[in-house]
Amino acid sequence: MTTATGADRITIRKCSNLDEVKACVALQKEVWNFDDVDLIPLRMFVVSQKIGGQIIGAFDGPELIGFAFSIPGTRSGHPYLHSHMLAVRAAWRNYGLGRSMKLAQRDDAIARGFDLLEWTFDPLEIKNAYLNLVRLGAIARRYSVNHYGFSSSPLQGGLPTDRLVAEWWLKSRRVVNLLEKNQPPQINVDQKIVKKRIHVPAEIYTWKSSETDRPKAAEVQKRNREEFLVAFRQGLTALGYERDAQGNGAFLLGRWDEDWSYAARAGEDED
């Protein structure tokens, strides 16, 4: 499961020894600048490998420059992988490493019989939302308020850790068409599909990092939280994402024409 990306010398593969896993622990500290209480410890990384999780690394020669970390879970009696953390060293961002590691996760998951990968992401992070919904073909139909509690990472800007739950149905028509046939979903063409837009201003990053302007970021988060919760109760799904020339983002919500929900298949209520 080795893949060349961006620069030819970068390799995507599973972490294979304890030193490489230790490098993942150190890189999370470098990327998020967590306090020790928020760090995932070495033992948790090691245990995940032994119980069916994933630790996939991006390497420049022997140097770890990124990793994706997943743990196994179940819902309605069906196993899936929860991708808890993806990190890329600052100097190596914008080379497509995040997407390449996600694709390696997908290949490994399918080979082991999984059809679902999930992860959470901050709805205020414009670039991540575009990657998840447009470049990977994930969907979102669950919103978790202050998912992790308040975070020590300065990247959170002191705001509640609200998260959308990305569902990546690995063998769905949407994902297969996008990744294997190069046919992205055309939801932004047929306006009948898009029932709602939820907007994120480009200034959100500046507002989050400024004590003076942070109330503006908090207001956007509060407004969007309420809009997502209402939309999801109405059965809508985040299917796409738009970015304009000024860097503003917008989630596109509509009704998904596939149903890969374990709970729906089993006739149960999902968590």
Residue with tokens 């593969």: 13
Residue with tokens 């992401």: 121
Q: Residue 9: its pLDDT value, please?
A: 79
| Last residue in a domain, options 104, 128, 159 | 104
Tell me the backbone φ, ψ of residue 42, rounded to 5 degrees: -55, -45
Q: Residue 74: its pLDDT value, please?
A: 92
Distance CA 161, CA 149 (A): 6
| Last residue in a domain, options 46, 79, 104 | 104
Whether 262 maps to a domain, the answer reads yes
Whether 38 maps to a domain, the answer reads yes
Query: Within this chain, do residues 46 and 143 fall inside the same structural domain, yes or no?
Result: no
Question: Domain range for residue 20?
Answer: 1-104
Query: Within this chain, do residues 145 and 65 fall inside the same structural domain, yes or no?
Result: no
Query: Within this chain, do residues 246 and 129 fall inside the same structural domain, yes or no?
Result: yes
For the chain, the domain total comes to 2
Q: Residue 157: its pLDDT value, please?
A: 57
Q: Is 234 exposed, middle or buried (0-12, 13-18, 19+ CB in 10 A)?
A: exposed
- Give the model confidence (pLDDT) of 9-65 as tens digits: 799 999 999 999 999 999 998 988 877 777 889 999 999 999 999 999 999 999 999
Query: Within this chain, do residues 85 and 168 fall inside the same structural domain, yes or no?
Result: no
- Give the model confidence (pLDDT) of 123-169 as tens digits: 999 999 999 999 999 999 999 999 988 756 655 557 889 999 999 99
| CA distances to 8, 9, 58, 101 from 4, in Å | 6, 7, 10, 11
| Last residue in a domain, options 73, 104, 135 | 104
Query: Within this chain, do residues 126 and 228 fall inside the same structural domain, yes or no?
Result: yes
What CATH number is given to the structural domain containing 27?
Answer: 3.40.630.30
CB 170 within 8 A of CB 110: yes
**Tokens describing residue 238:** 């985040």
Whether 249 maps to a domain, the answer reads yes
**Tokens describing residue 71:** 């743990």
Query: Within this chain, do residues 171 and 205 fall inside the same structural domain, yes or no?
Result: yes
Query: Within this chain, do residues 150 and 49 fall inside the same structural domain, yes or no?
Result: no
Query: Within this chain, do residues 135 and 220 fall inside the same structural domain, yes or no?
Result: yes
Query: Within this chain, do residues 126 and 253 fall inside the same structural domain, yes or no?
Result: yes
Q: Residue 266: its pLDDT value, please?
A: 38
Query: Within this chain, do residues 127 and 149 fall inside the same structural domain, yes or no?
Result: yes
Query: Within this chain, do residues 70 and 126 fall inside the same structural domain, yes or no?
Result: no
Distance CA 25, CA 67 (A): 10
CB 200 within 8 A of CB 248: yes
Distance CA 15, CA 70 (A): 12
Alpha carbon of residue 163 to chain centroid: 10
Q: Is the pTM of this model over 0.75?
A: yes
Whether 110 maps to a domain, the answer reads no
Query: Within this chain, do residues 54 and 137 fall inside the same structural domain, yes or no?
Result: no
